[in-house]
Amino acid sequence: MTSIRLLSVASEIYPLVKTGGLADVAGALPGALAGEGVATTTLIPGYPAVMAAIEGGERLHAYAELMGGPATLMRGRAHGLDLILLDAPHLFDRPGNPYLGPDGLDWPDNALRFGAFARAAADLAGGRVAGFEVDVIQLHDWQAGLAAAYLHYDPPVRRPGVVTTIHNLAFQGVFPAWMLGPLGLPAQAFALDGLEYHGQISFLKGGLIFADRITTVSPTYATEIMGEAGGMGLHGLLGGRSDVVSGILNGIDTAVWDPATDPALAAPFDASNLGARAANKAALQRSFGLEEDPAAFLIGSVGRLTEQKGMDLVPPLIPDLVAAGAQFALLGSGDRELEDAYRTLATAYPARVGVRIGYDEALAHAIEGGADAFLMPSRFEPCGLTQMYALRYGAVPIVARVGGLADTVIDASPYALAQVVATGFHFAAGSAASLRAALTRAMAMHRDEPGAWSRLQRNGMATDCSWGSAARQYAALFAAIIPPPSSA
């Protein structure tokens, strides 16, 4: 088996620091890639939680000055992960969310914070740090994207293969053009074929222009981002590079998300004893203060309450659904207006609508294991992990037919039901009428056709959501861009 050395550059990693699916991916992929002959080291900012978790830190490199203060690259291990931390207290020694200050707004120096992160990534991967060498660097999202630009404008000792992976095109890292100087980039980078983006500079664009390969996290999203509707202003660039763009569907960590062993569940279960889910449903109803009604159609949802996730489509439908016998259990946080709308509904229907505003890993597991259905009404969704957790936990996903949701859930159409392959319900993204129809369809099947419903559950639980296939595809892609030894 080939042996490939990879530097993965990620601004969050489970279980050390997580705001969303990127952390899950960055945390799980190294283990899966190891089986394909890829040895991964992950560069991560030295947030307080990360600094506290590292074992046996070894000092790799010291910067007398990196974007406004001294910094150190420390190598160590935590939770089986091989990590390099960028210890730069002036940039990362701050409590709370990795991107936002206590006011809920982006830290004002995010350009410098992730510029320094990208600079360190380029130094490590480009052969400027003694004792460290890799074949390929994988840049996750805008926070890492500028590393490709540093490798381009400041030619390294040794250029690795460069892959940029888009987890979410909505976040592009756009900053004023005058930041080029403080970031240590030349004025010539302010160009159409450089970082210039509508009069500003874009970190993500740097990652897209100067990478050898661009991947995103599902095949459907790869197609969507090359079109005007899904390209968020970058479809021209991405379409122009379509020969190097591909979609590799995420997997999930099937050890962390295993209903048979999950300590967060009242009653662990597998496909052979789906009856045990009843105890999880009752526990979930209790923990949300809902009526303990075994017949209720309990719809769960976990995620960011944002426009992307389409969670604004749901509140107007709730009164009718509640009247028809549904219950809701929601865990999430995000837009204040949406949080308030859900709180108001919980107050209006205390036995039927339960809302927890916040972030709670164990409760997320309990929702997947206890809800009858799992709702994900995203307007766009690069991949989405929670619907895959739902499949594995026997909560039937009801999803917008978009991005990775379309690639992971098979709609209960008459044809798919006849073929016994259906795993959930689709509706047209952004359409409240279509969402209402899908919910009505799902409720009717749950109420009237218990056999067909449990078939959906068992099909979902049998779906292979592991990282195996993705790891093979990444390994092949990395192997194709390793620079020949002569250029080393």
Q: How far is the CB of 378 from ligand ADP (least distance, A)?
A: 8
Q: Does 333 bind ligand ADP (CB under 6 A)?
A: yes
Which residue among 57, 161, 247, 332 contacts ligand ADP (CB under 6 A)?
Answer: 332
Please identify which residue in 125, 364, 438, 439 interacts with ligand ADP, judged by CB under 6 A: 364
Which residue of 12, 24, 141, 372 would you call a contact of ligand ADP, by CB under 6 A?
24
Return the structure tokens found at 375: 């709702």
By CB under 6 A, the residues from 286 to 315 that bind ligand ADP are 302-304
Task: For residue 15, state whether it binds ligand ADP (rule: CB under 6 A).
Answer: no
As a whole number of angstroms, the distance between CA 248 and CA 404 comes to 10
- Counting residues that bind ligand ADP (by CB under 6 A) gives 17
For ligand ADP, the binding residue among 6, 331, 390, 465 (CB under 6 A) is: 331
Give the binding site for ligand GLC (CB under 6 A): 20-22, 25, 167-168, 217, 250, 381-385, 404
Q: Does residue 359 interact with ligand ADP by CB under 6 A?
A: yes
Least spacing, CB of residue 415 vs ligand ADP, in Å: 28
In a 10 Å sphere around its CB, with 0-12 CB exposed, 13-18 middle and 19+ buried, how is residue 44 labelled?
Answer: buried
DSSP designation for 440 = H
What phi, psi does 113 have (nearest 5°)?
Answer: -60, -50
CB 310 to ligand GLC: min, Å: 12
The residue nearest ligand GLC at its CB is 21
Nearer to ligand ADP, 67 or 383 (CB): 383
Confirm or reject binding of residue 386 to ligand ADP (CB under 6 A): yes
Q: 386 exposed, middle or buried (CB, 10 Å; 0-12, 13-18, 19+)?
A: buried
CB of 330 to ligand GLC, least distance (A): 18
Minimum distance between the CB of residue 248 and ligand GLC, rounded to whole angstroms? 10
138 binds, among ligand ADP, ligand GLC, none (CB under 5 to 8 A by kind): none
Task: Provide the 8-state DSSP code for 46.
Answer: -
Report in angstroms how near the CB of residue 45 gets to ligand GLC at its nearest: 17
- Residue 217 interface partner, choices ligand ADP, ligand GLC, none, CB cut-off 5-8 Å depending on type: ligand GLC
Nearer to ligand GLC, 217 or 237 (CB): 217
Decide: is 228 part of the binding site for ligand ADP (CB under 6 A). no
d(CA 431, CA 60): 52
Please identify, using beta-carbon distances, which residue of 167 and 379 lies nearer to ligand GLC.
167
Q: How far is the CB of 235 from ligand ADP (least distance, A)?
A: 20
* 253 interacts with ligand ADP by CB under 6 A: no
Q: How far is the CB of 28 from ligand GLC (least distance, A)?
A: 10
Nearer to ligand GLC, 384 or 397 (CB): 384
How far apart CA 310 and CA 307 sit, in angstroms, is 5
Lookup result for tokens 């009164």: 319
**DSSP, res 187:** G
| Shortest spacing between CB 168 and ligand ADP, in angstroms | 6
73 vs 398 by CB, closer to ligand ADP: 398
Largest Cα–Cα distance of the chain, in whole Å? 71
> 253 in helix, strand or coil?
coil
**Smallest distance from ligand ADP to CB 225, Å:** 15
Selected from 171, 231, 360, 463, the binder of ligand ADP by CB under 6 A is 360
H helix or E strand, kind and range, residue 176: strand 174-176
Q: How far apart are CA 415 and CA 227, in angstroms?
A: 29
Q: How many helices (H) and strands (E) does the chain have?
A: 18, 18
The CB-of-434 to ligand GLC minimum distance in angstroms stands at: 20
Report the alpha-carbon distance of residue 218 to residue 239 in Å, rounded. 16
Query: Rounded to whole angstroms, what are the CA distances from 248 to 21, 56, 229, 470, 486?
Result: 15, 34, 21, 6, 30
Q: Does the bond joining 15 to the residue before it have cis omega, within 30 degrees of 0?
A: yes
Q: CA-CA distance, 122 to 212, in Å (whole number)?
A: 15
Q: Whose Cβ is closer to ligand GLC: residue 311's or residue 385's? A: 385
Q: Nearest CA to 366 among 270, 264, 453, 469? A: 264
| Residue 361 near ligand ADP by CB under 6 A | yes
Residue position matching structure tokens 């509508």: 198
Tokens matching residue 111: 């350009």
Q: Residue 174 in contact with residue 197, Cβ under 8 Å?
A: yes
Nearer to ligand ADP among residue 303 and residue 369 (C-beta):
303
Residue 336 phi/psi, 5-degree rounding, is -55, -40
Could you write out the DSSP letters of every residue in 308-376? TTTTTSSGGGHHHHHHTTEEEEEEEEE-HHHHHHHHHHHHH-TTTEEEEES--HHHHHHHHHH-SEEEE
Q: Does 220 bind ligand ADP (CB under 6 A)?
A: no
> Which positions touch ligand ADP (CB under 6 A)?
20-21, 24, 302-304, 331-333, 359-361, 364, 383-386
